[in-house]
Amino acid sequence: MSTLDDRPANPAIGEVRPNKRGGVAALIQSPVAIRLGALLILAIGLSLLHLSGRVFWQGLVINLGIFMILVLSLNLASGFTGVFSLGHIGFMALGAYGSAILTLPLAKKADYLPNLPAWLASIHFDFYLGPFPLGFLLATLLAAGLVAGVALLVGLVLMRLSGHFVAVATLGFLVIVRVILFNADNFTRGSRTFSNVTPYTGLWWVWFWAILTLYVVWRLKYSAYGRAMLAQREDALAAQAVGLAIMPPRLLAFVVSAFFTAVAGSLYAHFITSFSPTVFYFDLTFRVITMLIVGGLGSVSGSVLGTVVIIALAEALRRLEDVTLLYGMSQITLAVIFIVIILFRPNGLLGRREIVLARLFRKGGEPSP
C-alpha cells in the first residue's frame, strides 16, 4: 500500500535515472547538481544576510531554522509512523537545559549553579578549536545523545500504545519533564530564569543542523526502514503479516527524532541565552504541530513549507497585533487556520507528496509515473 503511495516521489530519491539528454542540459537537470545548486543559493543567501548585519532578519531566519528542525523531527516521529507525539517539546527542553549546563564556563557555573554534583560542576564545554567553538558542538551532541537515550526508554514504553492513547501518554511525558525542570533546582534553577548562556548559535550553526536534519529525515523516509515505517502507519496488522516488525522502525524514528529535537533545543538555548521551563510547554508544542499539519504529515518538503508559511504568518500577525493591540488574535487566527486545514485538507498542503526540485527544472514537467 505504501509503495503505491510514495510512487510519485520516487524520481526524487536521487537514485540515478538514465537521462537521455546529454551535455549541459543533463548536467543542469541532474538531481545532484540541482541539490548542490540549491545549497549554494542558500549559502549565498545566508552570507548576504550575515553581512547585511540586519539583526531582526537574522533572528527570524535563525528561528526559521530551529523550527524547521523541530517540525522535521516531529514529522519523522509522527508523520511517518502514525504514532502521534505531543511530548516532543519535552525532548527539546532537556536538550536546551542539558547543553546549556554543559557549556557554562567554570567560573559562572560555580556561581550560578552552586549545588551541581561535583562531576558535573567540573565539566565545561566552553573551549574553542581555533575560532571554532568545538565545546558547543560537543555539548550539543552529548546533550542530544543523552536525550536520545531517554527517548529510547520512553519510546519502549510509549510505542506499545496506539491511536490517541499514545498522544495522551506523550503529553503526560511533557508534563513530567516540566515538573522535573521546575523542581530540580540544583540543575535548572527551578522556576527562575536560566540565563548567562553563551550566545554561540548563529545563522550557520542553525542552518548546518537544519540541512543535516532535512537530509537525514529524507534519507530515512526512502530507506528500507522508512518504507517499513510507512507500511505500518498504513496498516499495522498487514505490515506484521508480511513480516515487518512494528517496534524497530517506530523506535528508530522516535529516537532519531528526539535527537534532532534536542539539537534544536540546544541551538535555541544558545540563541535566546535565557529561558525558563515555561517556554517548553503547550504553546510551543501547538505551534510546531500547526506547522507540521499545515505542511502535511509525512511529507518532508511539506514540513519545510509549513514552517516557512506559519513563521511568516505568525510574524505578520504579531506585527498586526502590535499595531491593533489585540493580543491573542494571532494565536486565534493560527488555530482557526489549523482547524480549517484539518477540515478541508486533512492531509495538509502537500499530503504525503514531495516537491521535487529536479522536477521544477524539467521543461513542462514530466507526466507523473
Partner 1 sequence: MTLVYYAIQQTVNALSIGSLYALMAVGLAMVFSILRLINFAHGDLMMVAAYLAAFALFANLPLGLAVVLIIIGTVIVGLLMERIAYRPIRGAPDVATLLTSLAVGQILQNGMLLTTRFLGQPIQIAFPTPDVLNGVVAFGSITVPRLNVVSLVIGLIALVSLSFFVTRTVPGLSMRAAAEDLTAAQLMGININRVIALAFAIGSGLAAIAGLLFAVQAGQINPYMGFTPVLKAFIAAVIGGFGSIAGAVVGGFVLGALEVILTALPGIGDILPPGMVSPSTQALLQQWLPSSLTGYRDAFVFAALILMLLFRPNGILGQPNREEMR
Minimum distance between the CB of residue 77 and partner 1, rounded to whole angstroms? 13
Burial class (CB in 10 A: 0-12, 13-18, 19+), 16: exposed
In this structure, what DSSP letter does residue 202 have? -
Q: Restricting to residues 109-128, which ones interact with partner 1 according to CB under 8 A?
A: none
Asked whether position 216 contacts partner 1 by CB under 8 A, the answer is no
Q: Is the CB of 231 or the CB of 334 nearer to partner 1?
A: 334
CB of 73 to partner 1, least distance (A): 17
User: Closest distance between partner 1 and the C-beta of residue 10, in Å?
Assistant: 26
**Interaction residues for partner 1, span 132-191 (CB under 8 A):** 157-158, 160-165, 167-169, 171-173, 175-176, 179-180, 182-183
Neighbours of 281 (CB within 10 A): 17
Cβ proximity to partner 1: between 28 and 342 the closer is 342
Nearer to partner 1, 13 or 168 (CB): 168
Closest separation in Å from C-beta 338 to partner 1? 5
| Nearest distance in Å: CB 186, partner 1 | 11
**At closest approach, how far in Å is the CB of 255 from partner 1?**
18
Pair 34, 361: CB distance under 8 Å: yes
Q: Which residues pair with 134 in a beta bridge?
A: none
Residues 330-349 that bind partner 1 (CB under 8 A): 331-332, 334-336, 338-339, 342-343, 346
For residue 255, what are the contacts with CB-CB under 8 A and spacing of at least 6?
148, 151, 152, 155
With CB under 8 A as the contact rule, the residue among 67, 80, 84, 254 that binds partner 1 is 84
Closest CA to 278 of 181, 198, 187: 181
Nearer to partner 1, 111 or 322 (CB): 322
Q: How far is the CB of 143 from partner 1 (least distance, A)?
A: 21
Among 326, 362, 366, 368, binds partner 1 (CB under 8 A): 326
How many residues bind partner 1 (CB under 8 A)? The answer is 41
What are the φ and ψ backbone dihedral angles of 215, each rounded to 5 degrees?
Answer: -65, -50
C-alpha cell at 316: 505578520
Q: For partner 1, give the closer residue by CB, 198 or 290.
A: 290
Nearest distance, CB of residue 58 and partner 1, angstroms: 29
Does residue 289 interact with partner 1 by CB under 8 A?
yes
CA distance linking residue 198 with residue 118, whole number of Å: 22
Question: Residue for cell digits 499530503?
Answer: 351
Residue closer to partner 1, measured from CB, 1 or 176: 176
Work out whether 328 is an interface residue with partner 1 (CB under 8 A). yes
Distance CA 242, CA 265 (A): 38
306 to each of 114, 144, 301, how far by Cα in Å?
43, 25, 8
Window 255 to 284, contacts with partner 1 (CB under 8 A): 282
Which CB atom, from 85 or from 261, has the smaller least distance to partner 1?
85
Inter-residue long-range contacts of 208-213, CB under 8 Å, 24+ positions, other chains counted: 209/65, 209/69, 209/260, 209/263, 209/264, 209/267, 210/65, 210/66, 210/68, 210/69, 210/72, 211/39, 211/42, 213/68, 213/69, 213/72, 213/73, 213/260, 213/263
Taking the alpha carbons at both ends of the chain, their separation in whole angstroms is: 16
CB nearer partner 1, residue 27 or residue 316: 316
CB of 303 to partner 1, least distance (A): 16
CB of 269 to partner 1, least distance (A): 22
The CA distances from residue 203 to 94, 139, 227, 335, in Å, are: 22, 18, 33, 29
Closer CB to partner 1, 113 or 139, in the complex: 113
Distance in angstroms (rounded) separating the CA atoms of residues 299 and 78: 11
Cβ–Cβ contacts within 10 Å for residue 276, how many?
Answer: 16
Give the binding site for partner 1 (CB under 8 A).
82, 84, 157-158, 160-165, 167-169, 171-173, 175-176, 179-180, 182-183, 282, 286, 289, 293, 325-329, 331-332, 334-336, 338-339, 342-343, 346
